[in-house]
């Protein structure tokens, strides 16, 4: 052995001691990375002298695991405090934008739209005023507002249903029945008896209690009430029979049993199973396509306005497939037959305004 050189024996204990010393000497992550690189070079250099290569593999594996654990312990608290760092960043007015998203494997996004059931429960209980338009008839107005002809006659003290004229202002009760002006001495029980009405309905509709006293001059709405003397309504069938016959301008809007009996505003009923297709009787624009609410008894309904000034109305639908404002072609599918609104079975209530109803039996 040459003089002046000192050779140290390379043993397993020497390697372990050397690694421990390196770990104590290099604490920072940057220095540890350099240390690991140097160690790798040393191990490669001595690999040829080692007889048990499995030992060195074990040593390297052990060192890497320990280093990874140390780095993990440092990173985890920093991730936990990321929200604090973002808050400080915001307070400092930094322009740096940081977006952090934590997602768990069991995360679920749930969406519950607000209930709209209350829409169908809303009901007006106020008397409104309507100005008679040219061509109006009591039956037209009653049909549009979903009340009986007699309801309007009684509310306005009209003796002859044919006596209304354009510009006349009519009181329209919110439901079929009678409007009673309270007089001194009236009680809720006496008023209910007078009109043959249900006291509970009177209390509910007028937001009253049975113990409440009535104030003279107050107007009460009496649902389903009837006057002792009934005015004679106009002969609506005769009136509609004099409307112009437009031949084949309108086509039948659906198939089924045609009762042909005129009621409402020149309307007839065609009965069939719910879901039967309903088509536009003529080309026109959709003035109304309402799929929500009672709508005066029409339920879900559509009203089309045609180029010649006539109108058609389709009521009690189960589904609408068009929207307000759409231009519709003759024979186009517009909805499905149903029994919504004031209805006792699946049918289509079909009205024609301004011309004879081709399905009516005059």
Mean pLDDT within 108-114: 35
CATH class given for the domain over 236-353? mainly beta
The per-residue pLDDT of the chain, averaged, comes to 75
pLDDT at 94 over 60: no
What span, in angstroms and rounded, lies between the C-alpha atoms of 188 and 146?
Answer: 26
Q: What is the pLDDT of residue 336?
A: 98
> Per-residue confidence at 289, pLDDT binned at 50, 70, 90?
very high
Closest by CA position to 47, among listed 31, 62, 59? 59
Res 23 pLDDT > 90: no
What's the pLDDT band for 16 if we cut at 50, 70, 90?
Answer: low
CATH 3.10.350.10 is the classification of domain 121-223: yes
**pLDDT classification of 25: cutoffs 50, 70, 90:** low
Residue pair 224/180 in contact by the 8 Å Cβ criterion: no
Question: Which range among 74-88, 99-113, 137-151, 167-181 has the greatest average pLDDT?
Answer: 167-181
Q: Six-digit token pair at 294?
A: 């009672």
Rounded Cα distance, 268 and 274, in Å: 17
Integer Cα distance of 267 and 252 in angstroms: 13
Closest by alpha carbon to 100, among 116, 84, 124? 84
Pairing type for strands 311-317 and 327-328 reads: unpaired
Write the pLDDT tens digit of every residue in 196-231: 999 999 898 888 888 888 888 888 889 989 887 655
**Nearest to residue 359, comparing CAs of 259, 241, 245, 249?**
259
The per-residue pLDDT for 271 is 94
What is the b/e burial string over 71-101, where b = at least 16 CB atoms within 10 angstroms of the residue's CB?
eeeeeeeeeeeeeeebeeeeeeeeeeeeeee
The pLDDT of residue 295 is above 90: no
Phi and psi at residue 139, to the nearest 5°: -65, -40
Other CB atoms closer than 10 Å to residue 284's CB: what's the count? 21
Tens of pLDDT along 305-357?
999 989 999 999 999 999 999 999 999 999 999 999 988 899 999 999 989 99
**Considering only CA atoms, which of 320, 120, 152, 176 is closest in space to residue 231?**
152
What residues does 236 pair with on adjacent strands?
A: none
pTM above 0.85, yes or no: no
State percent of the chain over pLDDT 90: 31
For 4-13, 171-180, 283-292, 300-309, which range has the lowest pLDDT when averaged over its residues?
4-13
- Residue whose entry in the numeric block shows the structure tokens 């070079």: 41
């Amino acid at each position: 052995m040459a003089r002046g050189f000192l050779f140290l024996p390379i043993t397993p204990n020497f390697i372990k001691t050397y690694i421990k010393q390196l770990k104590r000497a290099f604490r920072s992550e940057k220095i540890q990375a350099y240390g690991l690189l140097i160690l790798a070079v040393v191990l490669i250099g001595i690999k040829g002298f080692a007889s048990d290569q499995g030992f060195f593999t074990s040593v390297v594996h052990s060192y890497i695991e320990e280093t990874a654990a140390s780095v993990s312990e440092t990173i985890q608290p920093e991730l936990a405090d990321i929200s604090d760092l973002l808050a400080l960043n915001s307070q400092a007015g930094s322009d740096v934008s940081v977006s952090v998203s934590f997602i768990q494997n069991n995360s679920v996004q749930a969406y519950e739209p607000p209930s709209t059931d209350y829409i169908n429960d809303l009901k007006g209980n106020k008397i409104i005023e309507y100005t008679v338009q040219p061509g109006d008839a009591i039956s037209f107005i009653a049909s549009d507002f979903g009340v009986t002809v007699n309801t309007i006659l009684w509310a306005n003290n009209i003796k002859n249903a044919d006596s209304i004229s354009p510009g006349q202002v009519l009181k329209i009760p919110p439901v079929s029945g009678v409007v009673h002006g309270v007089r001194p001495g009236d009680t809720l029980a006496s008023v209910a008896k007078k009109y043959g009405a249900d006291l509970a309905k009177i209390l509910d509709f007028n937001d009253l209690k049975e113990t409440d006293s009535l104030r003279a001059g107050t107007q009460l709405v009496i649902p389903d009430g009837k006057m002792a003397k009934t005015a004679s309504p106009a002969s609506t069938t005769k009136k509609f029979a004099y409307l112009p016959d437009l031949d084949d301008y309108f086509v039948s809007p659906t198939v089924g049993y045609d009762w042909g009996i005129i009621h409402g505003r020149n309307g007839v009923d065609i009965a069939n199973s719910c879901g039967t297709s309903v088509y536009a009787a003529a080309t026109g624009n959709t003035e109304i396509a309402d799929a929500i609410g009672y709508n005066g008894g029409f339920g879900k309904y559509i009203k089309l306005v045609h180029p010649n000034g006539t109108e058609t109305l389709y009521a009690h639908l189960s589904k609408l497939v068009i929207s307000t404002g759409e231009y519709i072609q003759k024979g186009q599918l517009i909805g499905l037959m149903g029994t919504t609104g004031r209805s006792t079975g699946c049918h289509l209530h079909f009205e024609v305004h301004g011309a004879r109803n081709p399905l009516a039996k005059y």
